[in-house]
Amino acid sequence: MRVLITGGAGFIGAALANRLAADGHHVRVLDDVSAGDPSRLDRRVVFTRGDVRDVPRLWTLLQGISCVFHLAARVSVPESVLYPREYNEVNVGGTVSLIQAARDAGVGRVVFASSGAVYGDQESQPVAETAWPHPRSPYAVSKLASEQYVDTLGQLYNIETVSLRIFNAYGPGQFVPAAHAPAIPFFLKQAISGGSVIVFGNGQQTRDFVYIDDVVGALIAASEATGLNRRVINVGSGEETSVNRLVERIARTLGREVHSLHSQSDTGGVSRLVADLTLAKALLGYAPKVDIDAGLRLMLENDAHLRELTARNENHR
């Protein structure tokens, strides 16, 4: 394939780009490096720095491209609450710009990376794609609106489209910002350093943590499978893990006690969320291979920052 990955220097995008390049595909990446790091990309990947809303640049990058993976987005839920206009402009505006440029360039398929966050609170778990969304943040709204644009514009412009609702992805190389960091890399960092893990709310809220290799596998399958046009498909582990249980599993993986502190300043978000993978299995042949225990071990083995942190703390004992 000849593919373009928007947001391809980010956590998921870089893993996808490197896998495709290793498999012999021609891979182009567009990223504004606001959260991405081009140094993590395979040398065979053709990198361009730029904004996904820049249609003339997209025209150039889309020449000869058969499939686009659209991952470019701002992704912080708390930040989206503070800056909803910016999230709408980048996430929704970027999606519309991309589909318009894809139409002009004659691209055949667009795979859109949506989010399990669109579901919000649901009475029934695991949650299936037929559930009515209840987005609780501007970020989630922007992903849901983008799904609608991808579907509608794809139909109008005769582009095959599929949206993958990706749940809580994690894995080596995941960026850990100073504020509102993803749970798994942040908890591991705190635990290895000997600090207390801060758990928001009572810690009984559950999430579906899905390992990066499984996410990449689903994205590639969505670019190749037939019968996906206009579909929305969950991508998760199908395993429901509470935050308290996550801390326990981290302690078991590290082989040491991990102290947790509960903060009531934040409820911790929705009470339960786990993906129903029935559709993913049927349409993508998707079967997640890495459970949470194996994923935590792989994080420790393959994340350079965590290895360095582990070695430093062992030397100080």
CB neighbours of 185 closer than 8 A, spacing ≥ 6?
A: 170, 174, 176, 299, 303, 306
DSSP string covering 257-306, please? ---EEEETTS--S-S---B--HHHHHHH-------HHHHHHHHHHH-HHH
Distance CA 317, CA 315 (A): 6
The reported pTM is: 0.97
Sequence ranges of the domains in the chain: 2-169+210-235, 174-207+239-271+291-315
Confirm whether 2-169+210-235 and 174-207+239-271+291-315 share one CATH topology.
Answer: no
Residues serving a catalytic function are 139
Fold assignment, 2-169+210-235: Rossmann fold (3.40.50)
Separation in Å, CA 305 to CA 256, 286, 308 = 19, 30, 5
| pLDDT given at position 317 | 58
Token pair 């470019």 in the structure block, residue = 72
Picking from 109, 125, 132, 74, the residue whose alpha carbon sits closest to that of residue 277 is 125
Superfamily (CATH) of domain 174-207+239-271+291-315: UDP-galactose 4-epimerase, domain 1 (3.90.25.10)
Find the helix packing angle between 304-315 and 183-192, rounded to 10°: 20
Which helix (DSSP H) or strand (DSSP E) does residue 156 occupy?
helix 138-157
Q: Structure tokens of 292?
A: 């949470």
As averages over each run of 10 residues, the pLDDT of the chain (317 residues) reads 98 98 98 96 98 98 98 95 97 98 98 98 97 97 98 98 98 85 93 92 95 98 98 98 97 94 83 97 98 97 92 74
DSSP 121-141: S-SSSSBPTTSPP---SHHHH
